[in-house]
Chain A
Amino acid sequence: MGRPPARRASWKAARLTEVRDETPTARTLRLTVPGWPGHLAGQHVDVRLTAEDGYSTQRSYSLAAPADGDVVELTVERVPDGEVSPYLTEIMEVGDEVEIRGPVGGWFVWRPESTAPVLLVAGGSGVVPLMAMLRERRRAGSRVPFRLLYSLGGPDGRYYADELRRPGPGVDVTYLYTRSTPDSWPRPAGRVMLDDLAEGGWPSSFEPDCYVCGPTGFVEAVADLLLALGHAPERIRTERFGPTGG
């Protein structure tokens, strides 16, 4: 109905050019993908691995940064007993290849022409697509105010720690630790509560666009709290990561 015929997104070779360790269990992969069509902040890709005997398997991973020509970045958390993430985080070396297809997903995205304030709420590795939005804001020179609430077990688990230490004007970053905090941290360790979202987020009267990404239980809890604070359901976009997906 009125839509132009779509072209099938094809599998493309992606060569690893650079690796950055984020935490002891997560690393960022910089991959060169000739012919990459570009993507929006918040989108993900399918990654396909093929073994010598022809067996192959696929998983989805969020893109961690805006497209830089034909270079894309993924940040991958190693899932214990996973099939794909141990390869991407431990075995794959610079020069090795996987296949990538995408970008995928047209809903959990932030576009730089948007003018509403933005609230990003991350649970653990759910910070990855939200980081792509922060980086896209900077890349595009947007002045839209952003707030990132980043819930995670303890300070050792922070992704992008250096970059988030200096987020730049118009961006506030708040860490919400659930198990252990740095010394003399004002907020006791614990899961995200209503007050965290009330203090670190935006009043619902500002009509912010809210993006929530993390494990299912986290996303459910945060989305319910945002509703309780008066945010409209259509302004709350969610993406759920489970332990499944490894």
Chain B
Amino acid sequence: MAIVSRGFRGRPRAGGDRLPPGQYLVEDFPVLSAGPTPRVPPDRWEFAIDTEDGRTHRWSWQEFKELPQERPAVDIHCVTKWSKLDTHWEGVSLDVLFEDVESAAEYALVHSYGGYTTNLPVEDLLDGKAWIVHSFDGEELSPVHGGPARLLVPHLYFWKSAKWVRGIRLLNEDWPGFWETAGYHEYGDPWREQRYEGD
């Protein structure tokens, strides 16, 4: 049973059933990251998927932009408690990128320009649940928000949606990523409030 803080009333409740436990709504778009912002010019950008048996699938910026594009509108939830509803993105579904990838791996380690990593099960990347996005609210994604392109996996806490994404390694074993080795939950489902290791 929670302890009542004397004199605390709280705000009018907003967000309703779209707000996972412990989250609050924001209208702006806060930025979180662990180090300097990498700046990657699109002409030097590439994205790669490496399979567990050593095959690599690569896309240049131009090849990536020529793939079928989708415009997901999703709610996002940051482990630092803010949630933002109805965010509009544009990018490529991971289902498209995985079309020719032959793999039986169950785990993915996503890696970024600048060295960031995060891990998640491959099944959380497929079936319309994840995208590599290059636009937010109709504008090119800025470097502080992960541009030129970031992963978008809105059903998990937002640290899984790696900024400055560079590639995905498919693995037979689960390798914890950056925050996953620094005390955060390995899966990160906001609806089960899996914020920290052990939650």
Contact = CB atoms under 8 A, between A and B. Distances in A.
Interface string B84-100: 00000000000000000
Interface in B150-182: 173-176, 178-179, 181-182
Nearest to B26: A244
Interface stretch (A133-141, A180-188, A222-230): A222-230
Contacts of B13: 55
A57 B10 contact: yes
B33 A50 contact: no
Contact of A50 (B3, B36, B37, B82): B3
A98 B176 CA distance: 33
Interface stretch (B48-56, B64-72, B125-133, B191-199): B191-199
Nearest to B174: A1
A216 B31 contact: yes
Contact of B34 (A54, A60, A238): A238
B9 interface: yes
Interface string A44-65: 0010111110111111100000
Nearest to A223: B36
B102 interface: no
B26 A11 contact: no
Nearest to A56: B2
A165 interface: no
B22 A58 contact: yes
A102 B22 CA distance: 15
Interface string B19-44: 00010101010111111111000000
A87 B175 contact: no
Given A51-B10, A226-B36, A238-B34, A59 B81 contact: yes
Interface string A224-246: 10110000011011101011110
B34 A97 contact: no
B163 to A, nearest CB: 13
B4 A51 contact: yes
Given A1-B175, A216-B31, A98 B2 contact: no
Contact of B30 (A227, A236, A244): A244
B4 A52 contact: yes
The residue in B33, B80, B182 that gathers the most chain A C-beta atoms within 10 A of its C-beta is B80
Contacts of B174: 1
Nearest to A243: B28
B198 A240 contact: no
B7 interface: yes
Nearest to B180: A3
Given A8-B198, A8-B199, A242-B31, A91 B183 contact: no
Most buried by B among A11, A48, A58, A92: A58
Contact of B115 (A8, A13, A92, A234): A234
A21 interface: no
Nearest to A59: B81
A97 B5 CA distance: 6
Given A50-B2, A236-B36, A216 B30 contact: yes
9 smallest A-B Cβ distances: which pairs? A6-B198, A106-B182, A6-B197, A223-B36, A8-B198, A50-B2, A106-B183, A216-B31, A242-B30
